[in-house]
Amino acid sequence: MVFSSNIFLFFFLPLFLAVYYLTPFKHKSFVILIGSFIFYCWWRVDFLALFFGITLINHLVALRIVANEGGIRARQWMIFGVVCNLLALALFKYFNFGVDTLNAALEGMGFRPMEFMHIVLPIGISFHAFQSISFLIDVYRKDAPPARSFMDFAAYNSLFPQMIAGPVLRYKDLADQFESRPHTLDQFSYGAYRFMLGFAKKVLIADTVAMLADSVYALPNPTMADAWIGALAYTVQLYFDFTGYSDMAIGIAAMMGFKFLENFDHPYISRSITEFWRRWHMSLSAWLKDYLYIPLGGNRKGKVRNYINLFLTMLLGGFWHGANFTFVIWGAWHGAWLAIEKAMGRKVDDAPMPVFKRIGLVLGTFFIVMLGWVMFRAPTVSKAFDIYEGMFGFNGFGISDAMAWQLPGMAVSALILGLGMVFVIPYYEARKGIKIREMSGFLPHMMAIVLFILAVMKLSYQSYSPFLYFQF
């Protein structure tokens, strides 16, 4: 089940919220757990046992960490729990990749490839594993309290608003909210407003420009015009798809009384890659920093080691996104730029600068990010280089005949609108001193309702379109 579906909008969500609000607070975690299981098993029932087992193991390990607090046994239990999560992630997410890589090497040496059973990837396994790992480490570090009950922890680890594609939650940010949280009309109204904005982003912008990106990536030899249209379309599609999901997740959580941390802050106006990663998928960036970059040594072991740590963190972050060399290269691309900027002494601040210099830095960063998205989107490294060749004019310059008939006005308009929004809205918000996602009052909410109705109408005739981050 996905948020952008009629079954979710008009059956699951209203029914869940009705039961949730009619249930006494002490039993709401149980309702969340059952609702999340139903939401998940709409896709596959058999993986419920896997997620429940992982949740139970992590809860029991956390109890052992607390029971051995301050001793070597606590550290051993923490390591055991982290390894269990990583093994589950490696088995389901990277086993097929490992076998395919091994077989390619064997065939290259003239040997017969090995045969193994293909393993299905459970949706959301990456986010589930990351949340479990952060919980165990935080309990060991005494940065988070152990869960008040198994039911609270199970509800946290299976919260359906974000269990498929984030944001990455940490128990320490929600622990107090499981003890007490508001259920007010204002909170619910804000959640509904935020959900409608996210739904409109996904359906009206992301799904509309998707056809442009898909068409270009299907071309064997895209021209410069083709490749740039495809690269820009995917850059817009991914942003509005992922921010739309995050808005919807935050909105549903608000309707349930929870407050999730923000996941995006206008990343495409960043003036450096360092700033970009402080604005894009912020929950993942914070996770990588706290549980990978700092444990590797951060900036505490000299400049060279700092550059290596930045590179390794992004390399592993890229590999986390998927079992494909394209993601590894994408992570290395960003890691290299982070290291270069660190060596150059680039800082992230809002210090005044000439407007043309600021525009130049924003456009330069946007170009670097977009080149990375080409590799991120491509099914293979070879296909990514086909797009790069087109972008730099190796296959001609004008729009190809194969692409010309696939340029519907609505998709082109959505692309132009999306590009305008990512650059104009941040400056509008800065001038007004308030973010659109935080606006209240009759007019903003009525506009959200109108956009939501238009999105529902479009959803009624478009084909199924899952969120892009479901695959991660």
- Counting Cβ atoms within 10 Å, is residue 136 exposed (0-12), middle (13-18) or buried (19+)? buried
**Which amino acid is residue 298, in one-letter code?**
G
The rounded distance, in Å, linking the Cα atoms of 115 and 75 is 39
User: Looking at residue 11, what DSSP letter applies?
Assistant: I
The rounded distance, in Å, linking the Cα atoms of 431 and 30 is 44
Beta bridge partners of 399: none
The rounded distance, in Å, linking the Cα atoms of 63 and 73 is 12
In the structure encoding, which two tokens stand for residue 363, read together? 């456009």
Q: 159 with 36: CB under 8 angstroms?
A: yes
Note every long-range contact of 141-147, with CB atoms under 8 Å and residues 24 or more positions apart, other chains counting. Answer: 142/69, 143/172, 144/170, 144/171, 144/172, 144/175, 145/172, 145/175, 146/62, 146/63, 146/65, 146/66, 147/59, 147/62, 147/171, 147/175, 147/178
Q: Which residue intervals of 142-206 are DSSP H helices?
A: 150-157, 171-179, 185-200
Q: On the CB side of 472, how many CA atoms lie within 13 Å of its CA?
A: 21
The rounded distance, in Å, linking the Cα atoms of 168 and 284 is 6
Alpha-carbon torsion 5, 10, 16, 21, what sign? positive
Q: On the CB side of 127, how many CA atoms lie within 13 Å of its CA?
A: 24
Give, to the nearest 10 degrees, the angle between helix 48-67 and helix 150-157.
130
Beta bridge partners of 394: 396
**Which amino acid is residue 145, in one-letter code?**
P
The rounded distance, in Å, linking the Cα atoms of 448 and 450 is 5
Active site residue 445: no
The rounded distance, in Å, linking the Cα atoms of 307 and 323 is 25
Among 27, 321, 334, 445, the active-site one is 321
In the structure encoding, which two tokens stand for residue 148, read together? 């008040």
> Catalytic amino acids?
321
